[in-house]
Amino acid sequence: MSGGWSLWIATIVVINVVGSAWLLLWAGTRREGDDEGPKTVGHAFDGIEEYDMPLPRWWLWLFVGTIGFAGVYLVLYPGFGAFPGVLGWTEVGQHEAEVREADAKVQPLYAAYAARPIEDLARDSRAVATGRHLFANTCAACHGADAHGGVGFPNLADDDWIWGGDPETIQTTILGGRMAFMPAFAPALGGEQGIREVIQYVLSLSGQPADAQLAEAGKARFGTICIACHGPDGKGNKAMGAPNLTDSVWLFGGTAADIEYGLRNGRSSKMPAHADILGNDKAHLVAAYVYSLSHVGAAE
Amino acid sequence: MGVAPATAGDAATRPAGAARSAKARVSGVSLYAAREPIYQREANGPWQRLRTVVLFALAGFYVALPWLQWNGRQAVWFDVPARSFYLFGLTFWPQDFIYLSWLLILAAFGLFFFTNLAGRLWCGYACPQTVWTRFFMWIEWLTEGDRNRRILLDRGPWNRRKILRKTAKHTAWLAFSAMVGVTFVGYFLPVRDLVVRIVGQSVSGGEWVFLAVASLALYVDAGFMREQICKYACPYARFQGAMFDRATLTIFYDAGRGEPRGHRRRDLSPAAAGLGDCIDCRLCVHVCPTGIDIRQGTQFECIGCAACIDACDSVMHDVGLPKGLVRYTTESALAGKPLPLLRPRVVGYGAVLLVVACALAVGLARRMPLDVDVLRDRTTLYREVGAGLIENVYTLKVMNKSQQARTYRVSTQPPFAVASATDITVAAGKLGELPVRVRIEEARLDRASTSLTFAVQAGDDPLVRVQHESRFLAPAAVANRSDADDRANHGH
């Protein structure tokens, strides 16, 4: 707040406080004619007249008390222009204090969970429930409330893992995030004909109906480029997040059109790192929840 | 109520000299009335006995209520941090505040009905202000003596006796206030635990403040404010006058019989002395808790406590005249033209009172101890899960408002089908969350968004069942198809 505005607000505050005190004094000052007994306010309804009777004195003291309160408040709290108040209170400070207080309350609970292995937590219904709440707040936006994912977002409740599904890897994924990238391969695969052949081969890998002749040709082309990431048998590579092409689980869809789009334009996925968002202890619990989905009496 | 300051117009009509002196201040603040202390004399009689019975019944009820147990917890407990409000077998959630509204409407019409029938019955017999003030007056009577002694004590010098009596009075007041204050707080914090913790000195700072405010409020109110609250602060006192009519039972002084008032020798009959029945003993003024003289007619300060009736009846009995010089009667009866009790106003208030009471009772009886919210996943619009099926994801929030753990089953109307776990167990008074996947064949969808109804039903009671509507989103292809149909139908 600049000095001008500070002065402006301070002036308004002073005028209000002093003005209230003056009004109180002025209205309560005895003048000539005040002692002639109660007057009426000068109207009558159904023959009933309203007296102008004095207020009780304690009522006046309540007013005085509010003016005194204003003075005390302005010393303790911000309100008098740019003066921050001797207590140093701010909204942000109060919020931070409350967050600290809440953290201090829940920290021991998280710490107790953090000390136990994820497989153990995945069988502890309370730990899983807490993990589910954290998941709903942080992860469900992409992976869905049921963790079954969607197009471009992996299903976390099945047994098919792109980066690996052991407890430690899940926690690593949550904390550090993941980046996967497949370039566009149309020219490298030999143009239109190459694309057609590879599509048929990839369809055949996952047991979908495919043109055997084209697929056979596609296999050779697959061997020149695609095996670098997806492996010689197309089973993928968890070290680089290359999906398995031989099962029925598809990250971006498994139709010929979906495969074609991927080959022509490439694909890229990114899961952000959550180390700063969740922290180790909470990530540990989320990992336990995710692990429980596919390992402990899975939902389906 | 306000103080009307002398206006410029007033000043203009005065002589110039007076206008100048009007500006001259007379000492200090004087346009505010100091409270006239009221030394109430104890009245005895049938009405005061009735008031005492009501008083002890209400105060006893209020103090005992938090100590009652129900299913291993406090029977009446307003657990604000957990947002659970227990009333014996009922648990209210914040969503149930509509019932509180109905209760307040019921209370309002109760006030209208009884006020129209018999004036300020509430104020005189049932209001907490009346109840606690009377307890405080008893303590005053026990420690300082009757009216005359109290007046003398207050006027007298500060000697050892006065200090002792005053100390005794305030100590007793504070102790009584603390008891009522702890009881009040006990409605919000479990009272048994609270009392144990007060004794064990393990009460938190915030709880001390709560206890202190509740106790000191009563001490200041019933000890010092008393009738001032009724006269200046209470809104009900203000508008109850609007519910009076000529047939309302009110406390009246029968001026026709009593006037002209005056002292007279015991052996003279009133007629012989040329006087009315009132002997001007001022007992009715001395017993009045608001310090008014009922013989000036009905006044807004009168709280209808009937102390003056009892006082006057005992005097009339002593001087050998019939009772009822001050009595419950109606304006029309006093004028010699009594009106029937059952008049349109009373019947109307009574009918509304009955309807609201029935509505509240029926509403509570039919209250569903289950509430469901359905949240569609905001990010996953739809999924194609193969075999021509489309899937939508929802989170069902199931609120178990009953007092036992229950298992609920989730279903949808065909052709929609739930493709995930359908059962959820929720502890008593808790909220459970269940992610639900709903599937349908794409061929059965004909628009972008279809209405879908979830039903949630308790496994142990088919009557505990809630339905909740949501939307099921279809793939873009379906939406485009239906748009094309629309265009074809409209001939665009």
Q: Which SS3 state, helix, strand or coil, does residue B456 take?
A: strand
Given a contact cutoff of 8 angstroms between Cβ atoms, the answer to whether B403 and B488 are in contact is no
Token representation of residue B52: 């005492």
Token representation of residue A32: 């000539």
- Work out whether strand A48-52 and strand A39-45 pair parallel, antiparallel, or are unpaired: antiparallel
**With bands split at pLDDT 50, 70 and 90, how would you rate the model's confidence at B45?**
very high
Residues of chain B found within 8 Å of residue A132, distances taken between Cβ atoms: 433
CB pairs under 8 A between A and B: 114
Separation in Å, CA of A58 to nearest CA in chain B: 8
Among B29, B386, B393, the residue with its CB nearest the CB of A145 is B393
pLDDT tens over chain A, length 300 residues: 678 899 999 999 999 999 999 998 887 777 766 666 667 778 888 887 887 777 888 888 899 999 999 999 999 999 888 888 899 999 999 999 999 999 899 999 999 999 999 999 999 999 999 999 999 999 999 999 999 988 899 999 998 999 999 999 999 999 999 999 999 998 888 889 999 999 999 999 999 999 999 999 999 999 999 999 999 999 999 999 999 999 989 999 889 999 999 999 999 999 999 999 999 999 999 999 999 999 876 443
Cα–Cα nearest to B43, from B35, B30, B31, B52: B52
Given a contact cutoff of 8 angstroms between Cβ atoms, the answer to whether B82 and B344 are in contact is no
**With bands split at pLDDT 50, 70 and 90, how would you rate the model's confidence at B366?**
confident
* Contact with chain A for residue B300, Cβ under 8 A: no
Mean pLDDT of B65-90: 90
pLDDT (0 to 100) of residue B489? 66
B95 phi and psi, to 5 degrees?
A: -65, -15
* Contact with chain A for residue B423, Cβ under 8 A: no
- Work out whether strand A178-182 and strand A267-271 pair parallel, antiparallel, or are unpaired: antiparallel
Cα-Cα-Cα-Cα dihedral sign, residues A118, A122, A128, A131: positive
Among A57, A132, A148, the residue with its CB nearest the CB of B393 is A148
* Contact with chain A for residue B232, Cβ under 8 A: yes
Separation in Å, CA of B186 to nearest CA in chain A: 26
Task: Reply yes or no on whether the pLDDT at B492 is more than 70.
Answer: no
Closest CA in chain B for residue A255: B386
pLDDT (0 to 100) of residue B2? 38
pLDDT (0 to 100) of residue B486? 67
Separation in Å, CA of A266 to nearest CA in chain B: 22
H or E segment at A216?
A: helix A212-224
Residues of chain B found within 8 Å of residue A34, distances taken between Cβ atoms: 6, 30-31
In chain A, what is the straight-line distance between the N-terminal and C-terminal CA atoms, in Å?
Answer: 59
Q: What residue type is assigned to position B46 of the chain?
A: P
CB atoms within 10 A of CB B334: 18
Between chains, do A144 and B380 touch, taking CB under 8 Å as contact? yes
Q: What residue type is assigned to position B345 of the chain?
A: R
Token representation of residue B402: 């009953």
Q: What residue type is assigned to position B259 of the chain?
A: E
Closest CA in chain B for residue A142: B379
Among A56, A141, A148, the residue with its CB nearest the CB of B437 is A148
Between chains, do A28 and B29 touch, taking CB under 8 Å as contact? yes
Between chains, do B377 and A32 touch, taking CB under 8 Å as contact? no
pLDDT (0 to 100) of residue A49? 80
Cα-Cα-Cα-Cα dihedral sign, residues B170, B174, B176, B177: positive
DSSP label of B29: B
pLDDT (0 to 100) of residue A153? 93
Residues of chain A found within 8 Å of residue B419, distances taken between Cβ atoms: 300
Residue A104, class by beta-carbon neighbours within 10 Å (0-12 exposed, 13-18 middle, 19+ buried)?
exposed
Separation in Å, CA of B433 to nearest CA in chain A: 9
DSSP string, A52-118: EPPPBHHHHHHHHHHHHHHHHHHHHSS-STT---TT---HHHHHHHHHHHHHHHHHHHHHHHHTS-H
Average pLDDT over chain B, rounded to whole? 87
Choosing among A40, A58, A137, A249, which should be mutated to test the B contact, i.e. which has the most B CBs within 10 A? A58
Cα–Cα nearest to B132, from B194, B181, B192, B197: B181
Task: Reply yes or no on whether the pLDDT at B15 is more than 50.
Answer: no
Whose tokens are 């406590």? That residue is B305
pLDDT (0 to 100) of residue B271? 77
Given a contact cutoff of 8 angstroms between Cβ atoms, the answer to whether B186 and B194 are in contact is yes
Write out pLDDT tens, residues B302-336: 999 999 999 999 999 998 899 999 999 998 998 88
pLDDT (0 to 100) of residue A37? 63
* Contact with chain A for residue B436, Cβ under 8 A: yes
The CA distance from A230 to A269, in Å, is 16
pLDDT (0 to 100) of residue A229? 94
pLDDT (0 to 100) of residue A34? 64
Given a contact cutoff of 8 angstroms between Cβ atoms, the answer to whether B46 and B54 are in contact is no
Write out pLDDT tens, residues B404-428: 899 999 999 989 999 988 999 999 8
**Strand arrangement, sheet containing B84-87:** B76-79, B84-87, B90-92
The CA distance from A160 to A162, in Å, is 7
